[in-house]
Structure 1
Amino acid sequence: MLITTLMMAGTTLLAQTPDYTSPDYDAADSWLCRPGREDACTIDLDTTIIEADGSLRVETYRAAEDPGVDCFYVYPTVSNDMTPNSDMVANDEEHRVIAAQFARFGEVCRTYAPMYRQVTLTALRSMMAGQPVTADGVTAYRDVQNAFAHYMEHDNDGRPYVLIGHSQGARMLEQLVARVVDGQAVQTNMLSAMLIGYNVAVPPGEPVGSAFQAVPSCQSADQTGCFISYVSFRSDAPPPDASRFGKLPDPAVEVACTNPADLAGNSDSPLEAYLATGGAFTSSVVAGPWVEGGAEITTDFVRVPGLITGQCLNNEHGSYFAISVHGDPSDPRTDDIVGDVVANGVILADWGLHLLDIGIAQGDLIDLVASQAVAFDQ
């Protein structure tokens, strides 16, 4: 997940493919997750809760038996395929990102996650090194649009739905919302579009405009037909000059930031983070001990109540979700989290906490789906 955005490649470096052929979304292997089967979403998501005093308890994960909401997810740039665009074969990296970012939404919704021929890590690393790139972002988008069309035709049946994407996935869904959902009948049943870890443009101080004309940013937990978006940075390491996230070159717009833990008030709110026990994928450092001298943690995920808060800030640094870690050296629990993007031992400050964008507030995002579902039914 080192290079996880199409902003750098989406409009200038990605060429259209005139002989495009859609994947077969009738085929089971074209989906990482679909309801009613064993797949990437039907996994063990039990989580160890680590209190400040070092005590541990396990939170048992249970998927909803008959949820009334669907969640449609597009994953970020994770493919290690050596080609500029990925194939349609799910490898370990696709399964890992499903576990970290999406499977837990099964608490509140039926889960749909299509494969798509995304721009690979291989291509984006080459681009950052100044090498020629021939990856095709149009193919990636067309795959996502066709997968969504297949879902709407064969699965939706008028049900409320949520769109969830991170980075390249959010870029794909931003285009989908703008072209297919915005102001159309299909917007009626959309609870929200969660476009996380991507610079969604809005007019300064306004909830709608620029990226979308009829889909506003969510202003309360019971609002539907809206979008949620933010880019995460440590509060003591805001977006630097020329940051790839939190800033836009056009002064007439700014990056949208919606606080998933407090949409209406945007207080510096405790976040219900779900963090991978061993660290944030391969592009960050390995997590240290969660509890000094504590028992071994056997679950793949942890929660750390009270340790992390978040608040949207809009200042001279940009518009971003400022993450504060409230470590206490006097207690045995860890005083920090890992998730900064690291290359050759150096933190890439312009990425912020991109690797944690969804995990840092995953519980809050899941709660939002639940509250929006209630509001939709009323």
Structure 2
Amino acid sequence: MSHGPRRAPRALMTTLAAAACAAAALGAATASASASTTWLCKPGLKSNPCAMGLGTTVISPTGETEGTLTPAQTKSPKIDCFYVYPTVSDQKTMQATRRIDPEERSIALYQAARYSSECRIYAPMYRQITLAGLLKPDAVTAKMRASAYADVRDAWRDYLKHDNKGRGVVFIGHSQGTFVLRQLIAQEVDKQAAVRKRMVSALLLGGNVLVKKGKKDGGDFQHLKACTSATQLRCVVAFSTFNAAPPETAVFGRAGEGRSVVAGQSTAGTEVLCTNPAALAGGSAPLTSLYPSAPFAPGSTIGALTTQVGLPTPSISTPWIEAQAFSGQCTSTNGINVLTITGVTGAPSLKTLPDATWGLHLVDANIALGNLVTLVHGQVARYTAH
């Protein structure tokens, strides 16, 4: 990165753990329809953070440059991706407006832009609970949470009416975005057979997706199962990343913990789903990490934290960095289900932020991004063939 790390205040780092909890209460109340959708990413936008170049520098586990590549990009994608971003807003109010700030542009680049090789990307702005709101949870109202969900719901309906035209859809979310999508998919997709048929898959990272204990379905969704093979459609990939056994108080991976609940649902008889995107049937496999070479929104809170995680950031000319420094395997410790990563020789030691209970939440979307894009590529081919 071109700028040095800035330590986030400890109080803020600790209270960031309320991010998913704030999102968990979304939608319990009925909200009125929001104003017309503001799109962060949409085909045809003049300034679209999801439409970036794909040139990539491959580095070794220790950070040395090994070569460059440019992956093939579908000229006319036949499916779409619907992306909902995590908690990033540094606006000083408890709830963000739909104004597009540098934080949203950066997170769209980091988490969604790479999928542009496979799909047209739609990403709505929504009035999420901000980082400031997480510091003062008592000031965050049910109406605020409901309107945040309503923004995404209305954007989805807007997209279906004006842009979808029967195309297949991949859902992509992380953290607060995943909590929003858990509810949206349950209410607007899973229960509606005609809409459900258009779903290619859902990548719901860092948001405690629930299934029946010992099963790959049930829990959040009635008809959708976990992805267990590369040829499966209308399935879910979900995981939270740790590089050590999660503590008993882990924020992610635990059913019944406050951040597992959406709209007052019961978590009895459920567990948090873990799907290894590199080995859908189970076991350990190498992970292909992809992340931008550009720094994340310099001066922002999340930007400061990302500089401390420990991923190598060599000075390169391409927009993307690719590395195979870790393998991953879904593990269960005291009923906490997470994707545990292990470094190869020379791999960097990644730092859990804000503490061990969070694991490597900040890298969920990028630690196996190469595997996820490869999975979507195959799913798209199968969906369009049928």
Question: Corresponding residue for 1:107?
Answer: 117
- What runs of 5+ residues in structure 1 fail to find an aligned partner? 329-334, 343-347
- 1:46-65 equivalences in 2 (<5 Å): 46-51=55-60, 54-60=64-70, 63-65=73-75
Question: Corresponding residue for 1:311?
Answer: 329
Shift in alpha-carbon separation, 1:88–1:286, aligned structure 2, 3 A:
same
CA deviation map 1:65-87 (0-9, x unaligned): 10111001000011111111111
Cα separation, 2, equivalents of 1:239 and 1:317: 10
Secondary structure at the aligned position of 1:281 is classed as: helix
Question: Corresponding residue for 2:35?
Answer: 23
Q: State whether residues 23 and 129 of structure 2, in contact with CA within 8 Å, keep that contact through their aligned partners in structure 1.
A: no
Question: Corresponding residue for 1:203?
Answer: 212
Cα separation, 2, equivalents of 1:317 and 1:281: 32
Shift in alpha-carbon separation, 1:62–1:5, aligned structure 2, 3 A:
farther
Secondary structure at the aligned position of 2:331 is classed as: strand
Question: Corresponding residue for 2:304?
Answer: 282
* TM-score normalised by the chain length of structure 1: 0.85
**Which segment is superposed worse, 9-18 or 161-170?**
9-18
Question: Corresponding residue for 2:320?
Answer: 301
Q: Which amino acid aligns with 1:233?
A: F
Cα separation, 2, equivalents of 1:312 and 1:351: 16
Decide which of 351, 365, 372 is 1:365's aligned counterpart.
372
* TM-score normalised by the chain length of structure 2: 0.84
Q: State whether residues 271 and 335 of structure 2, in contact with CA within 8 Å, keep that contact through their aligned partners in structure 1.
A: no
Q: Which amino acid aligns with 1:180?
A: E
Cα separation, 2, equivalents of 1:99 and 1:160: 22
Shift in alpha-carbon separation, 1:287–1:166, aligned structure 2, 3 A:
closer
Q: Which amino acid aligns with 2:368?
A: A
Shift in alpha-carbon separation, 1:297–1:166, aligned structure 2, 3 A:
same
1:242 offset after TM fit, Å?
1.7
1:187 offset after TM fit, Å?
0.5
Question: Corresponding residue for 2:150?
Answer: 142
Q: Which has the higher helix share?
A: 2
Secondary structure at the aligned position of 2:161 is classed as: helix
Question: Corresponding residue for 1:81?
Answer: 91
Cα separation, 2, equivalents of 1:216 and 1:289: 32
Identity %: 37
Secondary structure at the aligned position of 1:304 is classed as: strand
Q: Which amino acid aligns with 1:296?
A: S
Decide which of 149, 165, 169 is 2:173's aligned counterpart.
165
Decide which of 306, 326, 331 is 2:344's aligned counterpart.
326
- What runs of 5+ residues in structure 2 fail to find an aligned partner? 1-11, 257-266, 297-301
**Which segment is superposed worse, 319-328 or 279-288?**
279-288
Decide which of 237, 255, 259 is 2:272's aligned counterpart.
255
Count, aligned residues: 352
Cα separation, 1, equivalents of 2:108 and 2:44: 17
Q: State whether residues 213 and 271 of structure 2, in contact with CA within 8 Å, keep that contact through their aligned partners in structure 1.
A: yes
CA deviation map 1:9-47 (0-9, x unaligned): 2456998586x441212xxxx111111333122224432
Shift in alpha-carbon separation, 1:179–1:14, aligned structure 2, 3 A:
closer
1:309 offset after TM fit, Å?
0.9
